[in-house]
Structure 1
Amino acid sequence: MIDQVRPNQVNEWLAAQAAPRALVLDVREPWELQTASVKPDGFELVAMPMASIPARLAELPADAAIACLCHHGGRSQQVAMFLARQGFGRVANITGGIEAWARERDPAVPRY
């Protein structure tokens, strides 16, 4: 089961994992990152488009707590499930994606 966390719960979820590293993995496309992005706040931000994840899996630390982010939460849920199947033990989906992030956590993030 993949944990579902709202944008305002991300830091709390990451801290509760007691992992050596805390990451938000943004799986959106480069044009989406240029349109809107989150600011790292108590976590490391890693951008890796969804399609590139299998080839770049070794770049993700297996012992990290990883909260996955996309536009609305669908792609990030798929990536979170993939990471869990690959043996990553601390994985969550950021429910509502960057759209919810802009509404609930940081209104300065543009909505698209």
Structure 2
Amino acid sequence: MQTVSTITVHTLKEWLISEKPFTLLDVRTNEEIAFNHIPGVNKHIPMDEIPMRHQELDDNHPIVIYCHHGMRSMQVGLYLNHIGYDDIYNLQGGIHAWSQIIDPTIPSY
């Protein structure tokens, strides 16, 4: 059974503050990440490059995936889960929720 857990922006903020070991994966386009991103992002692989580059991801720690609102990141999470990654989280609301709830200095689009 394929499952992707969700994580709230509040929990992600706690993970970042506590320096919990995890990968924060942005799957948006190069243009989107140039416009804004969540501080602490340590991996950027555009969604369409995931099938060719997924081996760059460390499966020894949780992977939190995000995009603009959470739809693309959920698809990537399901794909990664299907090919054997286990500890996958989709950021609920994506960077839009992050900029609205956690850090309003990050521009919205």
What TM-score range do you get, normalising by the shorter chain?
A: 0.7 to 0.9
- Give unpaired runs (5+ residues) of structure 1: none
Distance of 2:27 and 2:4 partners within structure 1: 16
When residues 11 and 87 of structure 1 are mapped into structure 2, their CA distance, relative to the original with a 3 A threshold, is farther
Q: Which residue of 2 aligns with 1:32?
A: 32
Contact kept? 1:24, 1:66, Cα under 8 Å? yes
Q: Which residue of 1 aligns with 2:42?
A: 45
Q: Which residue of 1 aligns with 2:8?
A: 6
Please identify runs of 4+ aligned residues in structure 1 that moved more than 3 A.
11-14
RMSD across aligned C-alpha pairs, in angstroms?
A: 1.9
Q: SS of 1:32's equivalent?
A: helix
Q: TM-score, normalised by structure 1?
A: 0.85
Q: TM-score, normalised by structure 2?
A: 0.87
Distance of 1:68 and 1:26 partners within structure 2: 6
Contact kept? 1:63, 1:88, Cα under 8 Å? no
Task: Give the Å deviation of 1:47.
Answer: 0.6
Calculate percent identity across the aligned residue pairs.
35
Aligned pair partner of 2:54 in 32, 52, 57: 57
Contact kept? 1:102, 1:108, Cα under 8 Å? yes
Aligned pair partner of 1:107 in 95, 104, 109: 104
Distance of 1:76 and 1:65 partners within structure 2: 14
**Number of residue pairs aligned between Structure 1 and Structure 2:** 105
Residue 44 of structure 2 aligns to which amino acid in structure 1?
A
Q: SS of 1:71's equivalent?
A: coil
Task: Give the Å deviation of 1:105.
Answer: 1.2
